[in-house]
Amino acid sequence: MTPASSHSPHGRSTLRTVQVLGGGNAGSSAHVRSLAAGLVARGVRVTVCAPVEAERSYDFGGAGAEHVHVPRSSDPGSVAALRAACTGADLVHAHGLHASFRAVLALAGRSTPLIVTWHNHTPSEGARAHFLRMLERRVVRAAAVVLGTTSDLVDRARKAGARDARLAAVTLPGRRPPVESDETDLESPKVRAELGAIGRPLLMAVGSLDPQRGYDMLLDAARAWRRLDPVPLVAIAGEGPLRAALQRRIEDEELPVRLIGRREDVRDLLAAADLALLPSRAESRSVLAQEALHARVPLVATSVGGVPELVGDAAALVPAEDARAFAAAVVRLLDDPEQRELLQEKGLRQAATWPTEDETVAQVLSVYDELTQPRPLI
């Protein structure tokens, strides 16, 4: 770990923060890695509490933070480990509902301020939905500030009883302005050949194979594309509990869809695609949508959660779970190169409105300052 200076740029003793991760969400883990690097660069001491697997994947130590292994919530020792790691911290910042709930338990009886960032919301039904609502209420009422990555998450926190809920400035970490590249031009044909999309359109979807992603609806839509000439290929990158069921449908119905598993080259996959697809039943600040617009790949998405706020008019939006509308939107774009080009241009303009990594760190640091600077006596 890179040693921090004894004083912050604000002229007071070094601030020490603890970032708490559950370890299961790629978007929040990448955000914490970026946030840790930015805070350390500004003289803040950062401890990241996360499973060791997350450290191996995101290298928080390489960002200048101290990593403390805290097991996932199913481990009975996770709260005790987290409580020990939070000793002496000026504030604790937890990311995601389960990590936040563990932070609430770990800070019980202490006056350490808790900041919570909600990156997404997973719909659920029945007893599980009731349980998650109870967790949400417990977390937001204990938090000094709740940051939501989309307006609907901020509204949800307020309805659950948050004292202070704000829209978070969250960027897509590691992104630079897009440039034309001969290397990209050479790589795309290789990717298309690997996937079997030579001489036919490539439609790319990315995300875990679970119910909220709407891949069953995407397979319904893919039936309509069998009539096109040439037939587009849908490639879905990701793993999850629905893989076997989706694969059975693909084979039984002879759908032009390939499940290609978890991939580390998502940006290369998108750069090779003709369209990006986001058929979700629920989304917050979609990483795929951000990657697609940055990569100048036209996006067809369902109008759910934070997607409309994120993409504006830079994507073709259709109602959730409407396979016919989704299929038709794809066909229209494949038939209309001018509309695809227009969406590419709009996508770049929309992406330019999103916060940078510096702006994200600055907002978080301003919240930290609010909670830790001495208040003047009245």
Q: 122-165, pLDDT tens digit by residue?
A: 777 788 888 989 999 999 999 999 999 999 999 999 999 999 99
In angstroms, how far is CA 176 from the centroid of its own chain? 17
Kindly report, residue by residue over 281-296, the tens digit of the pLDDT: 988 889 899 999 999 9
Domain ranges of the chain: 16-171+356-372, 182-351
Q: Structure pTM?
A: 0.84
Between CA 72 and CA 83 the distance in angstroms is 14
Kindly report, residue by residue over 234-262, the tens digit of the pLDDT: 999 999 999 999 999 999 999 999 999 99
> Over the chain, what is the mean pLDDT?
90
76: tokens are: 């009975």
Angle in degrees, CA 294, 147, 150, rounded to 5: 45
Residues 4 and 14 sit within 8 Å (Cβ to Cβ): yes
Between CA 238 and CA 257 the distance in angstroms is 13
Confidence of residue 9 (pLDDT cuts 50, 70, 90): very low
Fold of 182-351: Rossmann fold (3.40.50)
Task: For 248-286, give the DSSP string.
Answer: HHHHHTT-SEEEEE--S-HHHHHHH-SEEEE--SS-SS-
pLDDT(7) > 90:
no
pLDDT(181) > 60:
no
The CATH superfamily label for domain 16-171+356-372 reads Glycogen Phosphorylase B; (3.40.50.2000)
Q: Write the CB contacts of 367 (distance below 8 Å, at least 6 apart in sequence).
A: 115, 145, 147, 166
Task: Decide if 16-171+356-372 and 182-351 have a common fold.
Answer: yes
